[in-house]
Structure 1
């Protein structure tokens, strides 16, 4: 069975048998895995992350076969911190997105985020927005301007995140809390507000942690190594 052409990005690829590659793809129809034959030829040169592709797949099983693979746009050339940020997005999708579960709006958001990374836009707002969109698409999202009881978040209040429920107001100071003013700034995507970016990073880490199963993210470790390594 041959599917109609689809937009796609390669999330990851690795050698498979003698001359093939096993590729993880992100398409509007979901995350798919496919075998790319003759991966040392022209198609293999296209099977790299961040390049917009048009693809046709064959097969009824979860493991498809690439029937056609062509470039479909300008490559998103990422280097340095934007490169590691893109690898981070890819790893999140591989780890969290169920196979063959369509998310066309998330696909569009991913494509736009890659373009913004390639254009040199500030990294932190792009990453936090994508993490939030991914959680929301997977059904793990929560309100930022109301607590788990539906009460509006108070700017002078303190809140903790219960990942399965939402935000809960607390009275006693404890590690990992969020100020209401920070949460309200995040609800408005006001990244210029004091503490907003730092709070968003902590909040997304707390929200993502239960769904990552305790396994560290390879891209995050690579990024930390890159930041710590001496550079000219």
Structure 2
């Protein structure tokens, strides 16, 4: 079987047999895995993350073959914290997005996020927006401006997240709670509100955790290592 070419980004690649690579692609048709033959040649220079490509897949099975791979557009060169942020996005997609499950909106959001990272925009709002989009696309999203009972979130109220249900109002202090004001700021993407960004990071970690199966994210650990001060 031969499919028409489609836009794609490479999420991850690794050596496969003597001169091939096993490559995970993100396309508008979902996450696809394919064998890229001759990966040590010209094609191999394209088999890097964040390079927009046009790819033609062949084969009916879950593991396809790359029939054609060409550059398409301007590569997003990421450095430092932006690079680790991009690797984090790729790992989230690899871990959470089912194979061959079309998500064209997520593909467009990913491309726009890479462009924003390459342009040097603030990392935290970009990461939180992508995490939210990914959860929503996978059917795990929840309302930020109303609780799980359908009542509006109240500024002075405390809430906890029930990942399968949504936000539940609580009246006793306990770890991991969120202020109503923080949640309303998140709903409006108002990152100037005090505590909104740090609360959004905690909220997304809680929301993602059940879907990651308890395994830590390698990119997150690398990112934390990067931010650690050097030891004497």
The equivalent residue for 2:228 is 228
- Per the alignment, residue 104 of structure 2 pairs with 104
> Within 2, Cα distance between the matches of 1:6 and 1:191?
36
Equivalent residue number for residue 219 of structure 2? 219
Deviations 1:161-214, CA, capped at 9 Å, x for gaps: 000000000000110000000000000000110000000000000000000000
What is the distance in 2 between the residues matched to 1:80 and 1:225? 12
Q: CA RMSD in A?
A: 0.9
Structure 2 residue matching 1:86: 3-state secondary structure? helix
The answer for the alignment partner of 2:64 in structure 1 is 64
SS in 1 for 2:132: helix
Alignment of 1:3-152 (within 5 A): 3-152=3-152
> What displacement does 1:229 show?
5.4
Q: Map 1:161-176 to 2 at 5 A.
A: 161-176=161-176
Unpaired runs of at least 5, structure 1: none
- Using the size of structure 2 for normalisation, the TM-score is 0.99
* C-alpha displacement of 1:224: 1.0
Could you list the runs of 5+ residues in structure 2 that have no partner in the other structure? none
Residues 52 and 188 of structure 1, relative CA distance in 2, 3 Å threshold: same
SS class of match (1:7) = strand
TM-score by length of 1: 0.99
Runs of 4+ residues deviating >6 angstroms: none
**Partner-residue secondary structure (3-state), 1:133:** helix
Secondary structure of 1:76 counterpart? coil
String of CA shifts for 1:29-87, please: whole Å, max 9, x gaps.
Answer: 00000000000011111000001100001000000000000010111000100000000
Instruction: List aligned pairs for 1:177-192, cutoff 5 A.
Output: 177-192=177-192
Deviation of 1:230 after TM superposition, in Å, equals 3.5
Task: Work out the CA distance in 2 between the residues paired with 1:229 and 1:74.
Answer: 34
